[in-house]
Each structure stands twice: as C-alpha cells, then as structure tokens.
C-alpha cells in the first residue's frame, strides 16, 4: 500500500467510513437538526454552519496545494478562514453538506493523482511537507466534526 493509498483510506474513513474514534463526519452532519445550524453557543465563537464552511475552505486549500498552487494563502482568523455563513432554508443546509461532500471527493482525487515522491517535499515556501499537510487535513476534519457533534448535543 502506498502512502497515497493510506491517506485516501484515512480521509475516506473519517469522512464516511467507520473510524475508530466514533461517528464519521457525514453521520454527524446527518444528525444535526436544521434548527441548530445557525445557533451560536454562549461560550463558542462559531455556529455549526460556520464550522462546516470553514472545513470546506481548508479542504479547498489542500486541493490547491496538491494541484501546485502553493502561493495560495488563507489569512487565519479572517472572513477568508471563517466565511460568514447564515443558512436560511433546509435546502441551503443540504447544499452546504453536499458541497462539503463534493470537495471531499475532489480532495481524494487530488491525493490519488499526487506524486508519492513529493510527499516529503515542503509545500512551496511553507515550513511543512505534503505528508504533514495530508495528515493535518484529516485531523482538521476529526477536530471540527467533534465540535459539530458536541454543539449538536449541547444546543439540542
């Protein structure tokens, strides 16, 4: 099994498979009542919809890096990193979930075609490698998926 295959298995497992840590992200999202997607908890800065949009932003970032656009930047803690997101209808919520799922599949395709030989190269001018980036995007999904699960429980 190549490292690219291992990354794909890891990404797919966390996204819609059977991860060791509990529910996958798509299952977590399927259990979010529409009434909660824009609700802001007193001690938490972001809504469930904002968390999901943020996850899309960073999966897109990784796709761009893998596809060679290493000059692309996201300014942390800005609207670029956390786009304002207000979901008005259930159809908009379903569309956001579909966008998340679609960008996930696009990421998997980018990983599949990425040169295994480049995994230990630095990502452009950044101080980290492609291998670190791919592990990081999986951790990112687990982390924010857990936040979504927790917010669903606390707000529900």
Alpha-carbon distance 89 to 87, whole Å? 6
- Structural domain boundaries, residue 70: 3-155
CB-based contact 124:71 (threshold 8 Å): yes
Query: What is the number of structural domains in the chain?
Result: 1
**Percent of all residues in the chain with a pLDDT value above 90, rounded to a whole number:** 95
Q: What backbone torsions phi and psi does residue 126 show, to the nearest 5 degrees?
A: -80, 155
pLDDT tens digits, one per residue of 20-63: 999 999 999 999 999 999 999 988 899 999 999 999 999 999 99
Alpha-carbon distance 68 to 90, whole Å? 36
Q: Which residue has the tokens 């982390």?
A: 143
The CATH number of the domain holding residue 116 is 1.20.120.450
Around Cβ 49, how many Cβ atoms within 10 Å? 22
């Amino acid at each position: 099994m190549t490292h690219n295959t291992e990354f794909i298995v890891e990404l797919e497992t966390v996204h819609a498979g059977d991860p060791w840590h509990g529910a996958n992200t798509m299952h977590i999202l399927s259990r979010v009542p529409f009434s909660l997607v824009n609700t802001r908890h007193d001690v938490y800065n972001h809504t469930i919809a904002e968390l999901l949009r943020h996850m899309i932003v960073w999966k897109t970032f990784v796709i761009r890096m893998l596809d060679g656009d290493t000059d692309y930047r996201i300014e942390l803690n800005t609207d670029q990193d956390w786009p304002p997101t207000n979901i008005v209808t259930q159809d908009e919520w379903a569309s956001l979930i579909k966008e998340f799922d679609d960008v996930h599949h696009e990421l998997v395709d980018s990983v599949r075609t990425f040169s295994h030989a480049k995994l230990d190269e630095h990502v452009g001018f950044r101080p980290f490698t492609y291998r670190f980036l791919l592990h990081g995007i999986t951790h990112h999904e687990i982390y924010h998926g857990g936040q979504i699960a927790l917010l669903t429980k606390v707000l529900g």
